[in-house]
């Protein structure tokens, strides 16, 4: 040891003035000399709190495990500043023995000492320190538990995440909410499986806290595998969040799990999955929906049909035309209505066939969609229906002929003025009046020799 260090040592040991002893201890710590450790450990027994603080600080900077027992003894001192400095020093040393000492600070009556203990363990971040922070969650002190939760959230390890999950079981709602918020902010999905297990807890507050935490993690994640894993959750709100996250992702990777969600026991979630697939609107989504249509019951089929209608691609239209042959007439009716909204002429052949469906509702839906598509090729078939006294779709046919508006369609409307049904004649008259009023097809009407329309008695 050089002369300067010898001089500092003598001051620490022999100076009459506490200020000089403290200054010498501080300077010894800045030398980085391990030979100074024994004298600084002895200085921890000094009668002056100033010297104890300076010696503790110096030992923390020298980072020698040999100082741990002496620093732990400082936690029994009456002065809070002495205890806080000792904890900070133990935190810098960070050995398992140091952690054991820091944990003792949790039982200190001073809140600042407790908080310093939490911060020290957070900075260490070892398994032992995580264990100490988790142990603090069993305390009856709410501020201590909340501070421990914050500290665990800043240690980005699986073990720290498990500690936060334990906090979800706390009887205090404030503590549970802090854990939920911290897990969400942490955003790491490493504890996903553990949280999903917590959903099975029979205690409602625990279940709700686990659900909220999961939803926060899923919503913050950009990992499709994480979202897919969450689809297995027992909680519908978690599955809903996973569906919406997959929806937002909108990738081809999201399509297969969304298709599987069409099997969900919850009707609303099935519809959300279908809406997500519709919004993705890719050929893969359309083909996937078509492929699974046959394995589902009618309510799900109708959800799929509406999703295909929103997609509106040629592939989707092919699937909708296929649905016109479903055994359930309500599915056929839905498909017929949706086809008209696609704007695709590829739908016309299937709709023409549906005009002869065994159910009037399906026939009418096909008539309406042919009007939406302004399908000129449908006029001959529509006129046949209009001439059929047994048909139940005359009114819809008249509306569709008006929409199509070709000379042949207008001619059919004019012929309907002689129809046996009074309501058909009145509907045809109103349609022709609208045609004449529009002026777009007035010449066509005049060429047919029909103007100043009158309904036959």
- Give tens-digit pLDDT for 179-195: 999 999 999 999 999 99
Asked whether the predicted pLDDT for residue 444 surpasses 80, the reply is: no
Q: Report pLDDT digits (tens) over 113-130.
A: 999 999 999 999 999 999
Q: Domain check: are 360 and 387 in the same one?
A: no
- Reply yes or no on whether the pLDDT at 445 is more than 70: no
Does 275 map to a domain? no
Q: Note the pLDDT of residue 33.
A: 86
Residues 21 and 52 placed together within one structural domain of the fold: yes
* Boundary (domain end) residue, out of 96, 124, 152: 124
Domain membership of residue 133 (yes or no) is no
Q: Give me the pLDDT at residue 160, please.
A: 97
Does residue 225 register a pLDDT over 90?
A: yes
Containing domain of residue 14, as a range? 1-124
Say what the pLDDT of residue 446 is. 54
Q: Per-residue pLDDT for 437 more than 90?
A: no
- DSSP 8-state class, residue 94: -
Domain boundary among 373, 396, 431: 373
Residue whose entry in the numeric block shows the structure tokens 């142990």: 135
Q: What is the pLDDT of residue 448?
A: 52
Mean pLDDT of 394-404: 94
8-state DSSP, 139: S
Q: Among 49-63, 276-290, 418-432, 442-456, which stretch is predicted with the lowest mean pLDDT?
A: 442-456
Please provide the distance, in angstroms rounded to a whole number, between the alpha carbons at the two ends of the chain. Answer: 128
CA angle 302, 308, 310 (to 5 degrees): 110
Task: Note whether 71 and 56 are within 8 A (CB).
Answer: yes
Instruction: For residues 363 and 393, state if they share a domain.
Output: no
User: Which of the listed residues 325, 344, 373 is the one where a domain comes to its end?
Assistant: 373
Handedness of CA 29, 34, 39, 43 (dihedral sign): positive
pLDDT band at 5 (very low <50, low <70, confident <90, very high): confident
Q: What is the pLDDT of residue 390?
A: 87
For the chain, what is the domain count? 3
Residue 62 lies in a domain: yes
Tokens representing 256 are 């297969």
Give how far Cα 170 sits from Cα of 114, 164, 180, 440, Å: 19, 10, 11, 75
In the predicted model, is pLDDT for residue 441 greater than 70?
no
The 10 Å CB-count burial string (b at 16+, else e) for 405-435 is beebbbbbbbebbebeeeebbbbbbbbbeeb
Q: How confident is the model at residue 4 (pLDDT cuts 50, 70, 90)?
A: confident
% of the chain surpassing 70 pLDDT: 96
Residue 177 domain flag: no
CA of 112: how far to CAs of 61, 102, 109, 120, in Å? Answer: 22, 13, 9, 12
Say if residue 338's pLDDT is above 60.
yes
Average pLDDT over residues 85-114: 96
Assigned token pair, 421: 């049904």
In this prediction, residue 143 carries a pLDDT of 94
Domain of residue 341, CATH code = 1.25.10.10
Q: In this structure, is residue 360 part of a structural domain? A: yes
Say if 365 falls within a structural domain.
Answer: yes
Instruction: Report d(CA 353, CA 336) in Å as an integer.
Output: 10
Residue 456's pLDDT is: 46
d(CA 298, CA 93): 68
In a domain, 119, yes or no: yes
For residue 248, give Cα distances in angstroms to 220, 242, 285: 11, 10, 15
CA distance 172 to 449: 86
Same domain, 91 and 8: yes
Q: What is the mean pLDDT of the chain?
A: 92
Do 369 and 395 have their domain in common? no
pLDDT at 457: 45
pLDDT at 451: 47
The whole-number pLDDT of residue 447 equals 56
Instruction: Say if 114 falls within a structural domain.
Output: yes
Confidence of residue 32 (pLDDT cuts 50, 70, 90): confident
Please tell me whether residues 357 and 391 are part of one structural domain: no
Residues 325 and 392 in one domain: no
Looking at the structure, tell me whether residues 7 and 115 fall in a common domain: yes
Structure tokens that stand for 389 in this block: 């006294």
Residues 2 and 35 in one domain: yes
pLDDT at residue 34 tops 70: yes
Average pLDDT of span 388-401: 92
């Amino acid at each position: 040891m050089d002369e300067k260090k010898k001089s500092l040592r003598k001051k620490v040991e022999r100076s009459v003035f506490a200020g000089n002893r403290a200054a010498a201890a501080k300077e010894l710590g800045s030398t980085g000399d391990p030979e100074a450790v024994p004298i600084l450990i002895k200085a921890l027994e000094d009668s002056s709190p100033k010297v104890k603080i300076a010696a503790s600080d110096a030992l923390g900077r020298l980072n020698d495990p040999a100082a741990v027992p002496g620093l732990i003894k400082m936690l029994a001192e009456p002065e809070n500043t002495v205890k806080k400095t000792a904890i900070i020093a133990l935190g810098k040393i960070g050995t398992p023995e140091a952690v054991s000492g820091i944990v003792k600070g949790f039982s200190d009556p001073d809140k600042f000492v407790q908080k310093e203990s939490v911060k020290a363990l957070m900075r260490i971040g070892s398994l032992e320190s995580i264990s100490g922070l988790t142990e603090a969650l069993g305390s009856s002190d709410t501020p201590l538990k909340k501070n421990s939760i914050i500290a665990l959230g800043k240690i980005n390890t699986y073990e720290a995440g498990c500690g936060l999950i334990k906090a979800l079981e706390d009887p205090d709602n404030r503590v549970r909410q802090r854990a939920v918020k911290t897990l969400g902010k942490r955003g790491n999905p490493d504890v996903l499986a553990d949280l999903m297990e917590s959903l099975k807890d029979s205690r409602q507050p625990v279940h709700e806290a686990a659900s909220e935490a999961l939803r926060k993690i899923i919503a913050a994640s950009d990992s499709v595998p994480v979202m897919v894993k969450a689809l297995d959750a027992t909680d519908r709100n978690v599955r809903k969040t996973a569906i919406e996250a997959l929806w937002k992702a909108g990738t081809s990777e999201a399509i297969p799990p969304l298709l599987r969600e069409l099997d969900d026991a919850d009707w609303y979630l099935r519809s959300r999955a279908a809406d997500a697939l519709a919004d993705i609107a890719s050929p893969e989504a359309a083909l996937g929906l078509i492929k699974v249509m046959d394995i589902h019951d009618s309510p799900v089929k109708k959800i799929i049909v509406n999703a295909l209608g929103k997609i509106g691609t040629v592939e989707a239209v092919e699937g909708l035309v296929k649905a016109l042959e479903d055994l359930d007439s309500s599915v056929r009716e839905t498909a017929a209505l949706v086809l008209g909204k696609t704007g695709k002429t590829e739908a016309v052949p299937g709709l023409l066939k549906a005009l002869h469906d065994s159910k009037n509702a399906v026939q009418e839906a096909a008539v309406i969609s042919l009007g939406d598509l302004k399908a000129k090729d449908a006029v001959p078939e529509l006129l046949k229906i209009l001439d059929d006294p047994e048909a139940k779709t005359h009114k819809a046919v008249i509306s569709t002929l008006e929409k199509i508006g070709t000379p042949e369609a207008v001619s059919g409307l004019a012929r309907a003025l002689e129809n046996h049904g009074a309501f058909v004649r009145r509907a045809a008259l109103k349609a022709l009046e609208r045609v004449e009023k529009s002026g777009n097809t007035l010449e066509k009407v005049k060429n047919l020799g029909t103007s100043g329309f009158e309904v036959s008695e």
